[in-house]
Amino acid sequence: MKQLHIKISDDLYEEIKGNSMARECTMQSYIVECLKKDKVNKLKDIQEAQKDYKFKFIDLFAGIGGTRIGFERVGGKCVLTSEWDKYCQQTYEANYGDKPVGDVRELQVENIPEYDILVGGFPCQPFSLAGVSKKNSLGRPTGFLDETQGTLFFEVARIISGTRPKAFLLENVKNLVSHDKKRTFTTVINTLEQLNYKVFYKIMNGADYVPQHRERIFIVGFDKEYFTGDINFEFPRKVNLIQPKVKDILDKEVDEKYTLSDKLWSYLQAYAQKHKEKGNGFGFGLAELEGTSRTLSARYHKDGSEILIPQEGKNPRRLTPRECARLMGFPEDFKIVVSNTQAYKQFGNSVVVPLIEDIARKMMITLDEEKARRL
């Protein structure tokens, strides 16, 4: 027989007490009954209803929920999640209790619950401008339908247009800015502005928050139809006086399976030497423990070459999945429930959590200013 000790709110305590008295049983017996009869969600719903949320948001292209953590930390409640990858769905459900809906293209705006902020990334895709001049596109409120049809950004624009969130945050790789001779990024910004949003964007480096060089483009927008005054927003600036270091995220003891084999280590050294002779910088990245690592990518599971940890007296090693989680700023209790291969892909595709949290906090300042104007 095992014992479980939990802390609950006073209101939930009274709810359980009242229900147990009505059934003429102990509170412990009532809770066990609920668990056996799959009434856990009932207890969860009661607890959730008591929380004081500042705003609601939806999480598109959610991955494993790094953006969700950032927005929850500033008082948000996620009311809908979309993520098609089945392994990401497993990790997401294990950590948040919600299984994401699948393909974002199947989301109907009329079925999306009321919310305040839309967040998410989207794949970088080229847009076709066939038959649509820039002049005509900019002159029509629905011009984005022609320019972005068939892309996943179109789905973001469709949902923003149909639900009118007060604000949004979109994240993408740095190369979105230069993709397809800058046409892709220009189309994205034009589209969002055509939807009558004031748009701000900035390339930010996760190295301000974690010991990893990770540049991403962040696009923030505020609904001009909602705001009654000036829309003022500034992206966060670096505030850490102490730079995070790679050594800070490392485990003290690591399984030998993460150490590179002689064959793989020899191959990586030869590969790097070959490209060095050609005058380019391709090759492995041996991390400086007192410094910042290269960017963690989704391909890390292949050989780990972009971030290798030096080891005294033996070959370098890969990061463990838990170390990857720390490198992205995920909390220590974040559950890793998939294979190492999938975990590496998931963290490599994710966001730097504390950076997202800081952007969310700045967005709330702008929204709170408008709320104050309305009082």
Pair (61, 98) in one structural domain: yes
DSSP 3-state of 118? strand
218 versus 268: which is more confidently predicted?
218
Evaluate whether residue 206 is within a structural domain.
yes
Is the CB of residue 272 less than 8 Å from the CB of residue 283?
A: yes
Mean confidence (pLDDT) of the chain: 84
Strands of 215-223's sheet in order across: 76-81, 55-60, 117-121, 167-173, 215-223, 197-205
Same domain, 165 and 179: yes
Q: What is the dihedral of CA 97, 111, 141, 188, to 10 degrees?
A: 20
What is the residue range of 343's domain?
246-348
CA separation for the pair 103, 120 (Å, rounded): 14
With respect to residue 2, please indicate whether it lies within any of the assigned structural domains: no
Residue 224 lies in a domain: yes
Q: Is the pLDDT of residue 65 over 70?
A: yes
> How much is the pLDDT for 147?
55
Residue 254 lies in a domain: yes
Give the C-alpha separation, 181 to 226, whole Å: 34
- Once rounded to an integer, what is the mean pLDDT over residues 157-186? 90
DSSP state of 61: S
What angle is formed at CA 71 by the lines to CA 15 and CA 161, rounded to 5 degrees? 105
Beta strands in 190-337 (DSSP E): 197-205, 215-223, 309-311, 314-317
The answer on 141 and 226 residing in a single domain is: yes
Residue 219's beta-bridge partner residues? Answer: 170, 201
Whether 4 maps to a domain, the answer reads no
Residues 285 and 253 in one domain: yes
* Domain co-membership, 321 together with 280: yes
pLDDT of residue 243: 83
Whether pLDDT at 345 is above 80? yes
Distance, CA of 206 to CA of 295 (rounded, Å): 9
14 and 60 both lie in a single domain: no
Average pLDDT value for residue range 117-138: 59
Alpha carbon distance 363, 265 (integer Å): 46
- Whether residues 85 and 161 share a domain: the answer is yes
Q: Are residues 15 and 157 in the same domain?
A: no
What pLDDT, on a 0 to 100 scale, did the predictor assign at position 263? Answer: 93
Per-residue pLDDT band for 374 (boundaries 50, 70, 90) equals confident
pLDDT per position as a tens digit, 44-64: 555 555 567 899 999 999 999
Residue 296 has, within 13 A of its CA and on its CB side, a CA count of: 30
- For residues 9 and 151, the model is more confident at 151
Whole-Å CA distances, 371 to 55, 75, 200, 366, 375: 12, 15, 20, 9, 7
CA trace torsion 76, 80, 85, 90 (10° rounding): 70
Both structure tokens of 114 = 């009321």
Q: What's residue 141's pLDDT?
A: 37
Gap between the Cα atoms of 221 and 199, Å rounded: 4
Same domain, 202 and 265: no
Residue 219 has pLDDT above 90, yes or no: yes
The angle that helices 340-348 and 86-96 make with each other, rounded to 10 degrees, is 80
In this structure, the answer to whether residues 291 and 250 fall within a common structural domain is: yes
The string of pLDDT tens digits covering residues 236-292 is: 987 666 788 999 999 999 999 999 999 999 888 888 777 676 666 566 788 999 999
CA-CA distance, 50 to 151, in Å (whole number)?
Answer: 40
Alpha helices (runs of H) in 73-182, residue ranges in sequence order: 86-96, 134-139, 143-148, 152-163
Binned at pLDDT 50, 70 and 90, residue 13 comes out as confident
Q: What is the CATH number of the domain that holds 181?
A: 3.40.50.150
Number of domains in the chain: 3
Angle in degrees, 0-180, between the axes of helices 10-22 and 40-49, rounded to the nearest 10: 140
In-domain check, residue 18: yes
Which residue in 78, 88, 124, 324 is the catalytic one? 124
211-215, 277-281, 330-334: least confident range: 277-281
> What is the biggest distance separating any 2 CA atoms in the chain, rounded to whole angstroms?
82
Contacts of 339 (CB under 8 A, 6+ apart): none
CATH number at residue 284: 3.90.120.10
Are 154 and 95 contacting, i.e. CB atoms less than 8 angstroms apart? no
Are 173 and 217 a contacting pair, CB within 8 Å? yes
Same domain, 183 and 295: no
pLDDT tens for each residue of 307-331: 999 999 999 999 999 999 999 999 9
**132 confidence band (pLDDT: 50, 70, 90):** very low
In this structure, is residue 3 part of a structural domain?
no
**pLDDT for residue 140:** 41
Give the CA distances from residue 38 to residues 2, 31, 52, 317, 351, in Å, rounded to whole numbers and listed in that order. Answer: 19, 11, 26, 44, 34
More confident position, 217 or 28:
217
Q: Which residue has the higher pLDDT, 147 or 54?
A: 54
Mean pLDDT across 326-342: 96
Q: Is-catalytic flag, 88?
A: no
Does some domain include residue 5? no
CA 62, CA 324: separation in Å to the nearest integer?
18
- Clarify whether residues 228 and 274 are in a common domain: no
Lowest mean pLDDT among 88-92, 144-148, 354-358: 144-148
| DSSP-assigned letter for residue 252 | S
